[in-house]
Amino acid sequence: MRAGRPALAVALTTAASLFGDTLLYTALPVNAARLGLDGLAVGLILSLNRWVRLVTNSVAAQLYERLPAGLLVVAALALAVVTSAVYALPSLLLLFFGARLLWGFCWSLLRHGSYLAAIDDTPQHCGRHLGEMRAVFGIGYLAGAAYAPFAVEAFGWPVACLGAALLTLVGGAGPALIAAPWRRAIRSVAPDAERLSVWSAELVALFLIGALQLSLSAGFVIVAGGFRIAGLFPGGAPVLGALVPASFIAGVFVLSQRVAQIGWSTFAGRIAERAAGRTFLVAAVVAVFGSVTLASATEASLFVGAGAIVFAATVTAIIAVEVVIARRAPAHDRARILAAYNTWADLGAACGALAGGALQVVGPEAALWICAFLMSLTVPLWLFAARVGRWNAMVGS
C-alpha cells in the first residue's frame, strides 16, 4: 500500500465500527423500559459521544500529527469493539456512560483518519474520495440499522450488543490490518510557512455552513419530519391503493437519508471536485426548495420524495464545503483545520435534533419552514467566505 492512500481501507474500518453505535440509536429508545433506563439516561447515552467530540477532535488531530496513522486506526477499532461489548451491561450505568465517552474518542480518530486518508495524497481528487468515504459510511449505518431490531428481538439485548462487537471485529479487522502500514507524509514546517487561523472569517463561514447543513440534515429534518408525518397521517396514508401505517412512512423517510448517502455521495463528490462553487450553490437552492416542499406537502409519496431530495442535496453541499476546506488547508495544517471543521459539525449535529424537537412548540409545519430559512442562510455565508478568501464563489478553490 502506498503511504497516504489507504482511503478505502480506513473507511471500511470506520463503517464496521458503527454496529454498536447504530444499535443504540435504533433499538435503545424502544427497549429502555425493559432495560431499566429512563428518558434522561437514554438522552445522555445517545448524546455523550457527540458532546465529548468537541474536545476529542483536536486530540485526534494532534495524534495524527505525531503517531503512525495506521496504528491509530487499529487502536480505534479495538476500542470500538470493547465499547460495543460494554453496551451489553446497561445496569452498570456509569460504565455505560464511560463507554459512550470512549466511543466518541474512537469516532474522532476513525473519522479524522478517513478524512486524512481521502485527502492527503491527492487533494486535487479529494471530492471523489470524500464522496466514496461517505458512501461507505452509509453502508455501515444501514447494516447496523438492519441488524439491530432483528438481533434484539431474536437474542435479547446482551447478546445483540456482543454480536455487534463481534461484527465490528470481523468486519473491521481485515481493512484495519490493510491500513496498519499507513504513515502520513508529514513535512517539516518552515518558520514562515503558511498557517491558517481556524478563527479566520473565511474558515468560520465555511465551518458554520457545514454545521448548519449537518444540523438540519442529520437531526432537524428527521425529527421535524417525523412529527409532521405523525400529524398528517395519524391513521396511515394511501400509497398505490394500499393504506400504509405512519410508522412505515416515517421509516422510509429516514431510510432515504442513508440511501441518498450510499447511492449519491460518490457522484456528488465527483461533481464537487470539478466545480465546488456551482455544486454548492445548486445543492443549497435545491435543499431550500425541498424543505419548502416538506413544509407544505400533504401527500405521503411527495413528502418522502422531498425528504430524499433534501438529504441528497445536503450531502452534496457538505461535500462541496469539505472540498474547499481541504484545498484551502496547507498539508502541514490539514489535520488541525479538519479537526476544527469536525468540531463545528459535531456541534451542529448535536444541536440539530434538539432544535427539531424543541421547535415543535410552533408546530412541525412551521419548524420545517424555519428549516428552509436556515438552509437559505448558507448561500450568503458561502458568498462571504469566497469574498474574504479571495476565491471564485462559482468555481470554488
Sequence spans of domains, the chain = 7-179, 201-389
Q: What is the pLDDT of residue 193?
A: 57
Q: Are 7-179 and 201-389 the same fold in CATH?
A: yes
Fold (CATH) for 201-389: Growth Hormone; Chain: A; (1.20.1250)
Angle between helices 93-119 and 126-155 (to 10 degrees): 150
Sign of CA dihedral 42, 44, 47, 48: negative
Q: What is 7-179's CATH number, 2.60.40.10, 1.20.1250.20, 3.40.50.720, 1.20.120.350?
A: 1.20.1250.20
Cell of 201: 472569517
Place of cell 432537524: 220
Q: What is the pLDDT of residue 91?
A: 87
pLDDT (tens digit, 0 to 9) for every residue of the chain, 397 residues total? Answer: 444 468 899 999 999 999 999 888 878 877 888 888 877 788 788 888 888 999 999 999 999 988 999 999 999 999 999 999 999 998 898 999 999 999 999 999 999 999 999 888 676 778 888 999 999 999 998 888 888 888 888 899 999 999 999 999 999 999 999 999 998 876 445 555 567 788 999 999 999 999 998 888 877 887 788 778 878 888 777 777 777 777 677 777 878 888 888 889 999 999 998 999 999 999 999 999 999 999 998 888 898 899 999 999 999 999 999 999 988 888 778 889 999 999 998 888 878 767 776 776 777 888 889 989 999 999 999 999 999 988 888 887 6
Alpha-carbon separation of residue 129 from 7, 50, 76, 206 (angstroms): 7, 25, 21, 20
319 near 130, Cβ under 8 Å? yes
Enter the pTM of the model. 0.83
Q: 238 Cβ partners below 8 Å, 6+ apart?
A: 244, 300
| Measured distance CA(296)–CA(232) in Å, rounded | 11
Instruction: For the chain, count helices (H), then strands (E).
Output: 15, 2
Q: What is the pLDDT of residue 319?
A: 94
Q: What is the pLDDT of residue 3?
A: 44
